[in-house]
Amino acid sequence: MKKPRTMKLSLPEEELVGSGNLACQGCGATLAMRYVLKALGQRTVLCIPACCWSVIDGPFPYSCLGVPVYHCAFETAASTASGVKAGLEMVGDPETTVVAWGGDGGTFDIGIQALSGAAERNDDILYVCYDNEAYMNTGIQRSSATPYGAWTTTTPVKHFKNRPKKDIDAIMAAHRIPYIATGSVAFAEDVYKKAKKAKDIKGTRFLHIFAPCPTGWKSRPEDSIKLARMVVQNCIFPLYEIENGEKYTLSIKVKDKKPIIDYLKLQGRFRHLTEDDIKLMQEEVDKNWERLLRKVESSV
């Protein structure tokens, strides 16, 4: 009899996210947590502000996570994490990785002051922003991470969002923190590798993970991974690292850059856009991509 072959796994088998959680079908935020925790392991504590994950984790007294969680106020992910880190150090635990885990609203908008403060002090925390591009937990309201053109419940199609997504990574780079990386849940190994790298760096580290939201994007749950892959291939959300605020490195060198239209078509939130709107958006994406390439080239 032939010996059965074993599947070669590219990620550790250990799961720190339990199956009985409250995520929607096709939730990218849940995958982001799975991959990051696989990299960080059990000696991790999480500070989770108001966001989808404050629900996904499960109601009191339950938690679907295998690591301790402090549910903190909306705008305090970074400042709470700074306090937790200092507190753990003072009680003799300098090893545990302290993570602030927020959505885009808690990071780009209401939590940016605390995040900027922690980054300027270079507090020894890992900040992870899973970005589903709107306030999904409260029912799909626009945030400053919502892309140009998108429908949300506060940017109805007649007045869709007419400002580009805030460039949070550039803002974080301006703080000259040791490590910044973008990730997308379609690239699990890349997210894992970056979280692992971030874990071993001292100071403020920032991971920005693209996390599709079928509920808010009016997309099919089974398309989440596809969308998370397309957004990288069409360069709307390139994968890269920034070290010490100045060394830019592309994680995936996109050679055959895809047009954004196929990505937009899979999502109801972009259904209203005209050809002219899409042309404008494509130009913006091209410009951003060129700008990033220049930063990458100039840091070599």
Partner 1 sequence: MKKVIMGNHALSYGAMLARSQVIAAYPITPQTQVVELLSEMCADKTLDARFIKVESEHSAMAACIGASIAGARTFTATSAQGLALMHEMLHWASGGRLPVVMGDINRSMAPGWSIWTDQNDSLSQRDTGWMQYYCASNQEVVDTVIQAFKVSEQLAIPGMVVLDAFALSHTYEVVDIPDQAKVDEFLPPFKPQVRLTPDDPHAFGGLTSPEHYFELRYKLQKDMEKAPALIEETGREYEKLFGRYLGLVDDYLCEDAEIILVTSGTAGYTARGAVDDMRKSGIKAGNLRVKVFRPFPFEHVRRILKNAKKVAVVDRNISYGHHGMFFQEVKSALYGHDNNLPVFGFIAGLGGRDIMPSSFREVVEIALAKDKPEEEIIWIGVKR
CA distance 86 to 168: 26
For partner 1, give the closer residue by CB, 17 or 188.
17
For partner 1, give the closer residue by CB, 69 or 188.
69
Give one DSSP letter per residue of 237-267, joined into a string.
Answer: S--EEEETTTEEEESS--SSPPPTHHHHHT-
For partner 1, give the closer residue by CB, 136 or 232.
136
**3-class SS of residue 297:** helix
Instruction: Give the type of residue at 223.
Output: D
For partner 1, give the closer residue by CB, 121 or 229.
121
C-alpha triplet 69, 74, 78: angle, nearest 5°: 65
Shortest Cβ 42–partner 1 spacing (Å): 6
Give 249's strand partners: 241
Shortest Cβ 177–partner 1 spacing (Å): 15
Shortest Cβ 45–partner 1 spacing (Å): 5
Shortest Cβ 141–partner 1 spacing (Å): 19
CA distance 129 to 131: 6
Shortest Cβ 142–partner 1 spacing (Å): 23
For partner 1, give the closer residue by CB, 80 or 146.
80
For partner 1, give the closer residue by CB, 42 or 249.
42
- Strand 205-210 and strand 179-184: the pairing is parallel
For partner 1, give the closer residue by CB, 89 or 223.
89
For partner 1, give the closer residue by CB, 60 or 162.
60
CA distance 64 to 52: 14
Q: How far is CA 171 from CA 26, 100, 185, 244, 269, in A?
A: 30, 17, 22, 13, 27
In angstroms and rounded to an integer, the radius of gyration of the C-alpha atoms of the chain is 19
Shortest Cβ 181–partner 1 spacing (Å): 24
Interaction site with partner 1 (CB under 8 A): 42-45, 47, 54-55, 57-63, 65-73, 75-76, 78-91, 93, 96, 113-114, 116-117, 120-121, 123
Shortest Cβ 54–partner 1 spacing (Å): 7
Assess contact for 249 and 275: CB atoms under 8 A. Answer: no
Shortest Cβ 95–partner 1 spacing (Å): 9
89-115 exposure pattern, b = at least 16 Cβ within 10 A, e = fewer: eeeeeeebbbbbbbbbbbbbbbbbebb
CA distance 252 to 237: 11
